[in-house]
Amino acid sequence: MITFITSCEKYLDKAPDLGLSDTDVFNNFSTVRGYLDQAYDCIKDFSKSDAMGIGNDHISQIGDEAVNPRPQGSMKGTVNAGTWFGAATATEVGWGTENVGNNKGNVIPNAFYGLRIANRVIEKTPLMGSLIEEERRGLLGQAYFFRAWFYFEVIRRVGGMPLMDKVFPADYEFDEERLTYQQSSDWAIEQLDEAIQLLPDEWPAAETGRVNKASAYALRSMMQLYAASPLMRNPIDRIENNGYDIEYCKKAAEYAKQTLEYINTVVPKHKMMPGAEYQHIFYHSPNFVSAESLFYINSTGQNRNSGGADLATLWQNIEFSNRKGNKGVSHVDPTQNMIDKYETINGYPVKLVGNVWETDDPEFDQINPFQNRDPRLGMTIILPGEAFGSIQNNINYLCTWEGGRDVTPAQEPIAANLTGYSVKKWQWPSSVHTRLPGGDAGYGDYFYNCIIIRTTQVWLDYAEAMNEAYGPTEKNGYPWSAVDAINMVRERVGMSPVRNEYTTSKEIFRERIRNERAVELMFENHRWFDIRRWMIAKDIFNPSGDPYPLKGVQVTATAVGKYKKNSAFTDNVLPGNIFKYKLKDLTTETTVRVFQTEHYWYPIGKDEVFRFSKLKQNPGW
């Protein structure tokens, strides 16, 4: 690991091998595989409470997808506040090495840790005479994959870095100049080319969760699209938007096509899951893994049965209905900004402006604005007043109208719902129960895993690359145009094709692709990286003339009541109820986002920059 030898010098003296010597580690297949498996523990798991030091926050709250009404943790005080330089322990941006090597460690130090493991396996494994060829290929294939993945985890946050292609000894005088992002990415993709040649199509069932050939294909596609993006075209000392790199887009389209053809012909079980199975991309049974998952952390079900009394699903830190004193406690509140990205079923954009839903759809119903919308809205978001699960055999409602329990301060006054919405993705209705003695209600009905790349993302990667390289409808000899790819993503959930008026130019269709990506991949740890690589984050968080870029909805209800249960009153939605909606600014300290030009790249750790004269800091830090 080279983070870069100063504050981490003590750590460097001990390799991530539990104190074992090379002879002990690279003795036989079992010991070297056990050593390599430590790399899996370094993968960022955004689905666990306190993973990577995130506390009770959720990764979606770093961007514009959601807000967290709780003030605890480094998300509000450091990450959202933009005070990243020198924040050693802050989630996402910290360079401190506490807890390195497990899922509570910071993502950048963990990536360096994983890189050292991969480099050591690549260096030592070819010298092991005791391995059979299948064992050698499997070990090296995984190691080359991890060399690419962990390097990518670093560069997509801080930009181009020196090559990390060897194990650096503790006394190595590391002082090398940074490469550009594209130079760094080119090298990492070469590692994936090696991994593709070595990895198997599938592992035996007992090895479920190991990266395979499809994982490497998909990561290569993703990495090439990143390298083609506006932010990644910058040299080390500049941050400006000069658009996409067209040649890199062409290569990204080719890599995505190869991935999709490989899936279709060799491992068809990994094709996009149809709309009838859409929810089971995210939770599933009896298998631990959904068919669409290509690169994921296999939790083997350990994320189920989370929580305690009166707790509704806290996986992913998504807490919907923790009823304390008959009042709600909220964790992850989706913004109106995201709700506005769900089109009508006829393909028209919709936006709440004041108390009016603006759309060109002549069939839109202002009284029932969530009807006849993109079906993914109902599969991703719990809407105001919606029934979802039950508590003690009584129907559970999201009570975010004025006076409802979910917007009424609970024991922690700042934990009431702020936006009017809650998260349905990753949750199943039977999981929302009071946990009673002798059973776990519905917690154990399904499993879920942290999905890093899935097949639908590859289709979205393909569409973005094709549009930038060739335009919306041109195939240029490829099986699908950019419009074809987006329509396949939409149609499999029952959504209408993109309307013709939005496919007339690259620039117009670009916005629909980005909208589609936001809808499909919501809460899956992509949005933050997307708005940075597209260089739109500063505009999102600092719109001209509007000091409150994040929005929620103020809901009023005409017909609500209460029923009595165990001497406590619980809100209920009565028949004939009409909700009214009004846009509201989210102005609390927990919803603030500070984002300036320098925030497109994270700062390199201050100790590393101070020690190494050639290691240039990112602009603005």
Average pLDDT over every residue of 425-450: 70
Place of tokens 């809808």: 519
Q: What six digits make up the tokens of 123?
A: 């260096």
542 domain residue, yes or no: no
- According to the model, what pLDDT value does residue 13 have? 31
Q: Say whether 316 sits in a helix, a strand or coil.
A: helix
Q: Say whether 69 sits in a helix, a strand or coil.
A: coil
198 domain residue, yes or no: no
- What mean pLDDT is reported for the chain? 87
619 domain residue, yes or no: yes
Q: What is the dihedral of CA 182, 236, 61, 106, to 10 degrees?
A: 90
Q: How far is it, in rounded angstroms, from Cα 21 to Cα 39?
A: 18
Which is it for the CA torsion 186, 188, 190, 192, positive or negative? Answer: negative
Q: How far is it, in rounded angstroms, from Cα 502 to Cα 433?
A: 44
- Contact assessment for residue 181 and residue 160, using Cβ atoms and an 8 Å cutoff: yes
603 domain residue, yes or no: yes
- Contact assessment for residue 68 and residue 76, using Cβ atoms and an 8 Å cutoff: yes
Q: Tell me, yes or no, whether 412 and 334 share the same domain.
A: yes
* Pick from 332-336, 454-458, 497-501: least confident: 332-336
Peptide bond into 286 cis (omega under 30): yes
Q: Tell me, yes or no, whether 140 and 267 share the same domain.
A: no
Among the residues of 381-429, which ranges form H helices?
none
Q: Tell me, yes or no, whether 44 and 89 share the same domain.
A: yes
- Contact assessment for residue 142 and residue 219, using Cβ atoms and an 8 Å cutoff: no
- According to the model, what pLDDT value does residue 558 have? 82
Q: How far is it, in rounded angstroms, from Cα 576 to Cα 56?
A: 37
**Beta strand residue intervals within 7-114, DSSP E:** 66-67
185 domain residue, yes or no: no
Q: Tell me, yes or no, whether 456 and 417 share the same domain.
A: no
69 domain residue, yes or no: yes
Average pLDDT over every residue of 249-272: 98
Burial 229-243 (b: 16+ CB within 10 A, else e): bbbbbbebeebeeee
Range of the domain at 528: 213-233+242-303+447-534
Q: What is the dihedral of CA 220, 224, 225, 227, to 10 degrees?
A: 140
Interacting residues of 334 by C-beta distance below 8 A, sequence separation 6+: 65, 66, 381, 419, 421, 422, 423, 522
Average pLDDT over every residue of 437-445: 61
Look up the CATH number of the domain holding residue 525.
Answer: 1.25.40.900
More confident residue, 461 or 320: 461
Q: How does DSSP classify residue 326?
A: T
| Residue 455 falls in which region: left (phi positive, over 0), alpha (psi -120 to 50) or beta | alpha
Look up the CATH number of the domain holding residue 35.
Answer: 1.25.40
Among the residues of 471-559, which ranges form H helices?
482-491, 506-520, 527-533, 537-541
Q: Tell me, yes or no, whether 171 and 250 share the same domain.
A: no
Q: Tell me, yes or no, whether 51 and 102 share the same domain.
A: yes
- According to the model, what pLDDT value does residue 22 have? 81
**Whether the predicted pLDDT of 502 surpasses 80:** yes
| pLDDT tens digits along 517-536 | 999 999 999 999 999 999 99
**Residue 552 — φ and ψ, nearest 5°?**
-130, -170
Peptide bond into 282 cis (omega under 30): no
**Whether the predicted pLDDT of 8 surpasses 70:** no
* Pick from 95-109, 202-216, 387-401: least confident: 387-401
Q: How far is it, in rounded angstroms, from Cα 349 to Cα 343?
A: 5
| pLDDT tens digits along 308-349 | 434 444 556 666 655 555 556 678 899 999 999 999 999 999
Average pLDDT over every residue of 160-184: 86
Q: Tell me, yes or no, whether 390 and 453 share the same domain.
A: no
Q: Tell me, yes or no, whether 409 and 357 share the same domain.
A: yes
Q: Tell me, yes or no, whether 146 and 18 share the same domain.
A: yes
Interacting residues of 506 by C-beta distance below 8 A, sequence separation 6+: 467, 468, 471, 472
Q: Tell me, yes or no, whether 98 and 159 share the same domain.
A: yes
**Whether the predicted pLDDT of 2 surpasses 70:** no
Q: What six digits make up the tokens of 30?
A: 């079992």
The amino acid occupying position 319 is: E
- According to the model, what pLDDT value does residue 616 have? 92
Q: Tell me, yes or no, whether 250 and 361 share the same domain.
A: no
188 domain residue, yes or no: no
**Whether the predicted pLDDT of 596 surpasses 80:** yes
Q: How many CB atoms are closer than 10 A to CB 429? A: 14
**Whether the predicted pLDDT of 254 surpasses 90:** yes
- According to the model, what pLDDT value does residue 575 have? 67
| pLDDT tens digits along 80-93 | 989 999 888 888 99
Interacting residues of 297 by C-beta distance below 8 A, sequence separation 6+: 40, 43, 45, 47, 209, 449, 450, 452
- According to the model, what pLDDT value does residue 312 have? 43
Q: Tell me, yes or no, whether 2 and 110 share the same domain.
A: yes
User: How many domains are there within the chain?
Assistant: 3
- According to the model, what pLDDT value does residue 171 have? 67
**Whether the predicted pLDDT of 148 surpasses 90:** yes
543 domain residue, yes or no: no
Q: How many CB atoms are closer than 10 A to CB 326? A: 16
